[in-house]
Amino acid sequence: MVGKLEDVAAASGVSRSTVSRVLNDGPVSEVTRRRVLAAMEQTGYRPNLAARTLASGRSGVVGVVIHVPAEVLFQDVFFSGLFHGISEGLAERGAGMMLWLANLPKEQTLERILGMRLFDGLLVTADTLDDPLVDGLVASDLPTVLIGHRHKDRSASYVDIHNERAAEQVVDHLVGLGRRRIGHIAGRRGGTSAEERLTGYRRAMQRAGLPTEGLVVRGDYLTRSGIDGAAQLVEAGVDAIFAASDTMAVGALAELARRGIRVPDEIAVAGFDDVAEAAQADPPLTTMRQDTELLGLEAAHTLFRLLGDPDAVPQRVILPTELIIRQSTVGSMDSRRTRERDGTRKRDGTRT
C-alpha cells in the first residue's frame, strides 16, 4: 500500500492541491508544509511517476542514446569515462537514466524513443557522419544534447572537444621536434572525430610545408589497426607516427618494437585520448588528453540548462584538451606538459 496523494491530503487535513504544492516546492506556509511532510512520512507515500508525467508533461527521466553495440560500449575506454560522467551528472539532479544501445534497428529505436514520450530530454552520442537516428532525434522537439557533433549539428546543442585543433597541436609538437615525414593512422572513415583529427593533421602538415602523400592510413581506433597501420607507415619511411587514438598508438608501439625500431630515436609516436595505458606504455606515450568523464558530466549539465530555460538558445560547450608529452616523442628528456591555449572551456549561446 503506497497510497495516493489524496490519502496524504486526508491524513494532514489539507487539500490535494496543497499536498501537490509541497511535492513541487510550491508556495505553502511552513506549518502546513511540515504537517504534510509528516503525513507523507507516516503513510509512506510515494508519488506516482506515470501520473505526474501525464499531468505535468515532465518525468525527471533522461534518455541516453549511445548507439553502439553493447560490446563496443565496454571495449572502448572512451565510452567508459563518458558513461561514468553522464551517470554522475544525472544523479546529481536525481534524474533517472534510460539507456538505449544498438539492439534494435535504427528506425525502430528512434520510433520507440520518441513514441515513449517519457523523456524530459536526451543525451546522444554523435560521431557517425551519416546517422539517421541522431538526425531524427535532433529534429524531434525533445531537448537534446549531443556528445560530439557533425557539421550538420552546428545549430544543435552539444558538448565536444576541438578535434581538429588538438590534432594540429600534436603534429606541431612533432614538427617542432624536427620530424619531417609524419604519418597518420586515422580513425574510421565517416567518424566525425576521426575525420577532424585527420583534417587537423593535414592542416598542420601543410602549414609546415610538409607532404602527406602516402602518409595516411585508415584504422578504427582499435589496437589491431594500430599494428597494421604502423607496419604500412614504416614501409612508407616515416620518422613519426600520429595515431588518432591511444589504443592504436599502443598497437603501433608494439609493431615498432617487434621490428626492433627504436622509439622515439628512429620513429616518434603520439596518440590521442590519454587513456590509462598511455602512461604505462613502453615508452610512455605522448598524447592529447581529453577528459571523457567531464564530457559526460558537462553533457548532463548542459541538458539541465536547456530544460531549465524553455527558450534557451542552443548550448555549445567545447572542453579543453591538453598535450601530454612523454618519452615516445622526446626520448629521455624530461617529460613536460603544455596547456592548449585555445582549448580553454567556453560556452556560446549564439544561434548559427
Partner DNA sequence: CGTCATGATGGGAGCGCTCCCATCAAGTAC
Partner DNA sequence: GTACTTGATGGGAGCGCTCCCATCATGACG
CB of 325 to DNA, least distance (A): 53
* Residue 112 lies near a copy of itself (rule: CB under 8 A): yes
What would the x/- binding string for a copy of itself be over residues 63 to 102, using CB under 8 A? -------xx-xxx-x-xx--xx--xx-xx--x-xxxx-x-
Nearest-angstrom CA–CA distance, 221 and 243: 8
- Identify the bridge partners of residue 186 per DSSP, sorted by sequence position: 218
Nearest-angstrom CA–CA distance, 274 and 297: 18
CB of 46 to DNA, least distance (A): 7
Per CB under 8 A, the list member of 38, 116, 139, 333 interacting with a copy of itself is: 116
Residues 21 to 60 in contact with a copy of itself, rule: CB under 8 A: 46-51, 53-54, 59
Which of 27/209 has CB closer to DNA? 27
SS3 content of the chain, % helix, strand, coil (to 5): 45, 15, 35
Q: Do residues 267 and 239 lie in contact, with contact meaning Cβ atoms separated by under 8 Å?
A: yes
Which of 10/118 has CB closer to a copy of itself? 118
Question: Omega of the bond prior to 314 within 30 degrees of 0, cis?
Answer: no
Name the 3-class secondary structure at 48: coil
Which of 115/310 has CB closer to a copy of itself? 115
**Phi-psi group of 273: left, alpha or beta (phi > 0 → left; psi -120 to 50 → alpha; rest → beta):** left
* Residue 222 lies near a copy of itself (rule: CB under 8 A): no
Q: Do residues 124 and 65 lie in contact, with contact meaning Cβ atoms separated by under 8 Å?
A: yes
CB of 51 to a copy of itself, least distance (A): 5
Which of 3/214 has CB closer to DNA? 3
CB of 90 to a copy of itself, least distance (A): 8
* Residue 115 lies near a copy of itself (rule: CB under 8 A): yes
Nearest-angstrom CA–CA distance, 285 and 171: 14
How far is residue 264 CA from its own chain's centroid?
31
Which of 2/70 has CB closer to DNA? 2
Answer with the entry of a copy of itself, DNA, none that 61 interacts with (C-beta below 5 to 8 A by kind): a copy of itself
CB of 11 to DNA, least distance (A): 12
If you write DSSP's letter for every residue of 101-145 in order, what string do you get?
-TTS-HHHHHHHHHHH---SEEEEE--BSS-HHHHHHHHSSS-EE
Which residues make up the interface to DNA (CB under 7 A)? 4-6, 13-18, 20-21, 23-24, 26-29, 31-33, 45-48, 51-52, 54-58
CB of 38 to a copy of itself, least distance (A): 17
Nearest-angstrom CA–CA distance, 37 and 42: 9
CB of 176 to a copy of itself, least distance (A): 35
Phi, psi of 141 (to 5 degrees): -90, 10
Question: For binding to a copy of itself (CB under 8 A), which residues are involved?
Answer: 2, 46-51, 53-54, 59, 61, 70-71, 73-75, 77, 79-80, 83-84, 87-88, 90-91, 94, 96-99, 101, 103-104, 111-112, 114-118
